[in-house]
Amino acid sequence: MKEEEYSVEYHEKLIQNFLQSNQRIMDILRENKITQIKITHNEMNKQCKQLSFTILNAYFKHLYMKKEDESNKLESLENAKIILLLFYFIEENITEHLPHFFTHHLFAFEKKLDEERWFIYMNCLYLVGSYVNPTNYYFFLENYFKNVKENNQKNVTLTCLYILDKICMGTIETYKDIRRKGLTRDGIHSSFVLVLEKIIGLFFGVINGAQHVERYLLILQIIHTILSSECAYERLDEKHITQLVILLYIIFNKVKNVRENLTKGKDKICLNRNFYLPVDVLDIHFYITRIKKIKNFEQLDMSQEQININVGSEILYKIFSLSDDNINQKTAILQILPDEFLYNSHYVYFLIQYIIKRQTFFYDQSFSIFLCKIMIKLFNLNQNKKNITKVVLYNEELALYDVHQERRDKNAKQVKHVFLEYACTIFLLFIFKNVNIYEPFSNVVETCKVVLHLLTEVKNPYSFLFFIKRTSLVSKLCDILECREAKSIFFCKHVLNDLHINYEKYMNNDGDIKYLDHINIGKKIGLRKQVNTEVDILFYFVSTCIYLIYYKSLACLSVLLKDQAEEIGHLKIHEAFRILFDGTEKRVLQILKIKEQGSYTISNLYKKTIEDMLLEKNNFSELFS
């Protein structure tokens, strides 16, 4: 704006012309009993703001009483111009009008805007960023993010992200202009830095939601805006820059399949009827170049699948917490962490702390799957073979010297033994809670699937043998198979469920509960068939776990005996097998023999194989050659 435009005469003439040229504004002034407008030199700024504030307050009420006619483009354009002009005059007092303005904005962006009106709204957002305290505009936008209705969630989220980008741009550019004029030597306002930190946390919440490419691109646009100005990102501390890097990893992995199509032969990306982004937001080298200028991030390389910067253990804990219940996102974070993280005691400690602090640990099925993935990653890393052999084959407790040796440099790239024990203990807690006949049948089956997945995916033979030994998993599973009351308990559960739903059927004339013998015979038969089916399925899953454990243990033992041939060359594979399982093979055969007399056809499929494997003392190494 030119310097003469700041004069009293300019403001006075502008407001007088504006008021006299708009009949609706004159009506609003009359309704609010504003009869005289006098602007003096000393009172100019104050009166301009006060008058504009009154007009805008009344004007928003007018817009809501009379819904804007979208078909009348001239009227819509006039409304936008009035809002922009009043925003210019009231400056920081815009804050009180933000809820109305954002709501009006969301409504306006539902329809296609012409170019002139679009630019007016962008200027309004720029002024919000210029005049309003960042914590205030973020407060209102955050409420829109959190309280949006599900059926309109996508549109509102996209609009709010777009608004946030333009407002942040207004804040940053205004600061740069003030700094350029020499009016300040301080850094950008600390409240804006606080908002940036909150925005980064908000982004994790946004990508937790539905998988929409538009969301990822808008988040990239805001990060692009932040990293485009050194005055913005230089105030962020190391942990928040690290979170930004992890966000970039996750988002670029999500858009890698559409990235080329979005940028091919284009200079802009159209997200919807009103939102346009430059193709630069998908230029990964821009982000890398900017972040590498920051201390401790000079070696950043995003061409690899795994992150190559230092991620503090507390940051890792924070990121998992920000991911809420989105298991896919936590898994994605886990995948970009290099193996070295899980060799570090601090990281594993915080992972375990995160797991234990989760109040849903024992009954959240999706979280248990995530836990399973952590354990698989941990078990598949390099292990201290010597220590594991002592435990598996000789039933020894590790001496203090053995534990101390783990700290030596030569053993640095090996998982600490204590964390293998922790992982096994956590798994046992999960098993005890979820794989028992007192749990709902669906929970038991789903948990068995998780156990099978874990048993299948652990590839390191030493880890697998230690896990089986430490948890005594076969014995725990045998306890389930040997429970003679399984059918009775499942039957009672079904009756109790039916009793809860059809209570009146079980009442006699005196109001007492009838005996279960009075249940309809047909109902009894139906329940018994259902119970038999459920117990069959349970037996199938549990016995399959045992079968897999036995066969995979033989494969793992053959590897161990081959590796440790010099130390334990005298030991045969079937002898090592008996040491590992401590005689449970006879117990398993007895269970199979009993179950074979019932309706459990699955046992017949491999009973003979197990008998051969356990009793005939074959050399099983040929099975795995």
Interatomic CA distance for residues 263 and 52, integer angstroms: 44
At 7 the pLDDT is 57
Q: Is residue 123 within 8 Å of residue 172, measured between CB atoms?
A: no
118, with CB counted inside 10 A (0-12, 13-18, 19+), is middle
Q: Is residue 128 within 8 Å of residue 137, measured between CB atoms?
A: yes
Closest CA to 280 of 291, 293, 266, 292: 266
At 618 the pLDDT is 43
Structure tokens at 78: 């006039």
**Residue 270 bridge partners (DSSP):** 276
CA distance readout (Å), 103 to 8, 141, 258: 34, 10, 32
The segments of the chain whose pLDDT lies below 50 read 1-6, 39-44, 64, 511, 513, 515, 598-611, 613-625
Interatomic CA distance for residues 300 and 315, integer angstroms: 17
**Residue 277 bridge partners (DSSP):** 269
Task: Return the amino acid letter for 315.
Answer: I
3-class DSSP assignment, residue 408: coil
Structure tokens at 420: 């293998």
Closest CA to 463 of 361, 408, 397, 382: 382
Element containing residue 268 per DSSP (H, E): strand 268-270
Element containing residue 596 per DSSP (H, E): helix 584-596
Interatomic CA distance for residues 97 and 312, integer angstroms: 41
CA distance readout (Å), 400 to 344, 406, 467, 470: 19, 10, 21, 19
Task: Return the amino acid letter for 180.
Answer: R
Q: Is residue 360 within 8 Å of residue 367, measured between CB atoms?
A: yes
At 600 the pLDDT is 45
Interatomic CA distance for residues 189 and 171, integer angstroms: 9
State pLDDT tens for residues 326-378.
777 777 777 777 766 666 666 666 666 666 666 555 556 666 677 777 788 88
Give the pTM: 0.66
Report the chain's C-alpha Rg in angstroms: 34
Q: What is the DSSP string of 289-327?
A: HHHTTSTT-TT--TTSSS--S---HHHHHHHHHHTTT-H
At 424 the pLDDT is 76
3-class DSSP assignment, residue 277: strand
Interatomic CA distance for residues 355 and 57, integer angstroms: 51
At 443 the pLDDT is 73
Tokens 């959240």 correspond to 364
- The crossing angle, in degrees rounded to 10, of helices 190-208 and 153-180 is 160
Interatomic CA distance for residues 326 and 331, integer angstroms: 9
At 248 the pLDDT is 92
State pLDDT tens for residues 6-26.
455 665 565 666 666 667 667
Q: Is residue 463 within 8 Å of residue 383, measured between CB atoms?
A: yes
Q: Chain centroid to CA 75: how far?
A: 44
Element containing residue 278 per DSSP (H, E): strand 276-278
Q: Is residue 487 within 8 Å of residue 481, measured between CB atoms?
A: no
Interatomic CA distance for residues 58 and 75, integer angstroms: 17
At 524 the pLDDT is 62
298, with CB counted inside 10 A (0-12, 13-18, 19+), is exposed
Element containing residue 236 per DSSP (H, E): none
At 89 the pLDDT is 58
Q: Is residue 322 within 8 Å of residue 204, measured between CB atoms?
A: yes
